[in-house]
Amino acid sequence: MHMADALLSPAVGGALWAGSLGALIICARKLKEKMDDRLIPLMGVLGAFIFAGQMINFTIPMTGSSGHIGGGLLLAILLGPYAAFLVIASVLVIQALFFADGGLLALGANIWNLGIYPAFIGYPIIYRAIAKKNASNKAITVASVLGVVAGLQLGALSVVLETKLSGITELPFSTFLLMMQPIHLAIGLIEGFATAGIVVYVRSLRPDIVDNLEGVKSMSAGGSLRKLVMIMSVLALLTGGAFSWFASTNPDGLEWSIEKIYGKPEVPGQQSTVGENLARLQEKTAILPDYSLPSKGGEESAETDASPWPAIDPRTSLSGIVGSLMVLAIVVLFGFGVKFISRHKSKM
């Protein structure tokens, strides 16, 4: 559900940039007050895992569409909502800057749509209300599914509203809404069960991580944190490096909805100086566009379109591994930066 710049006007895109930046500042301040140092490596490897996981689109049966995990609720359950929002924002920044996945004008909207709803509605209002401390695995599953579905439905609704406010006339509001909500319900159900499975597994290793429902998590001493970090690291590398070959070639829920209405997976968009400058900037920063090496004219695209499934491609593996490491690095640097500022100010 990564929006392209063509779906937003500069005014709406700018407003969502401001909203997301404000949320990021609030989250950083919350973490600065109380963040446990031991949480930082887990934030990094989970961010890497979510980056890699989002490369794997799964087919939605009988639709011709596909979807991928958002990961926001999983992060909120394991890290708390403030750390989760920072991690999902880091994933989306890396995707937009270096892989051209989602536009730069739309980056604020994508952070808002994929981060705010799971972290600050799906987790506190739905998941935490159902899966209280020492909840059963059944309660965790129900809470995960409902939390993911709610977050994704609100995110899909936001996409429709944002295009309406941007004056994208190619996508009539009611028709776009009727396409977006059902397909993202199906995607949310699959992600919900996947989220529950991972949460239950993590709980078997470190019950305190899942059962601690505070906004900023603290961890108990001992346990299998190192083992958990190692397992998630290996999973991130395997997912980005090999499992990504098995991604569905069907369009994702947003592209599918647009194509059903407009006849093409993309709309022309509005001409603006801001949008054109950001597009030129993205062309320079996107070293692995579309999770591959830069194409040479149209020949590469034609070759890629004709590739069989699974698409065993070292360029995809390179993108998955490099992107995961980028996310790991930026999250860990940010986490230790927040702790450094906190300690420096406490000594003043």
What b-and-e string marks burial along 223-237, b requiring 16 or more CB atoms within 10 Å of the CB? Answer: eebeebbebbbebbb
Cα angle: 78, vertex 80, 85; to 5 degrees: 105
pLDDT for residue 297: 58
Average the pLDDT over 157-175 and give the result.
96
Would you place residue 271 in the very low, low, confident or very high pLDDT band (cuts 50, 70, 90)? confident
Q: Is the pLDDT of residue 78 over 60?
A: yes
**Are the CB atoms for 96 and 103 separated by under 8 Å?**
yes
Average pLDDT, the chain: 92
One-character DSSP codes across 243-311: GGGG---S-BHHHHHHHHHHSSSS------HHHHHHHHHHHHH-SSGGGSPPP-TTHHHHHHHT--SS-
Q: Is the pLDDT of residue 85 over 70?
A: yes
Would you place residue 34 in the very low, low, confident or very high pLDDT band (cuts 50, 70, 90)? confident
Q: What share of the chain is helix, strand, coil (3-state, %, to 5)?
A: 70, 0, 25
CB neighbours of 42 closer than 8 A, spacing ≥ 6?
A: 78, 79, 209, 225, 228, 229, 232
pLDDT for residue 348: 67
* 3-state SS assignment for residue 66: strand
Segment holding 60, helix H or strand E: strand 58-60
**Are the CB atoms for 2 and 263 separated by under 8 Å?**
no
Average the pLDDT over 76-83 and give the result.
96
Segment holding 46, helix H or strand E: helix 39-53
| pTM of the shown model | 0.94
Q: How many Å is the maximal CA-CA distance in the chain? A: 62
> CB pairs under 8 A, 24+ apart, for 222-227?
225/38, 225/42
Per residue in 122-146, pLDDT (tens digit) is 999 999 999 987 889 999 999 999 9
**Are the CB atoms for 144 and 195 separated by under 8 Å?**
yes
Q: Is the pLDDT of residue 302 over 50?
A: no
Average the pLDDT over 45-74 and give the result.
96
Would you place residue 219 in the very low, low, confident or very high pLDDT band (cuts 50, 70, 90)? confident
CB neighbours of 36 closer than 8 A, spacing ≥ 6?
A: 216, 217, 218, 219
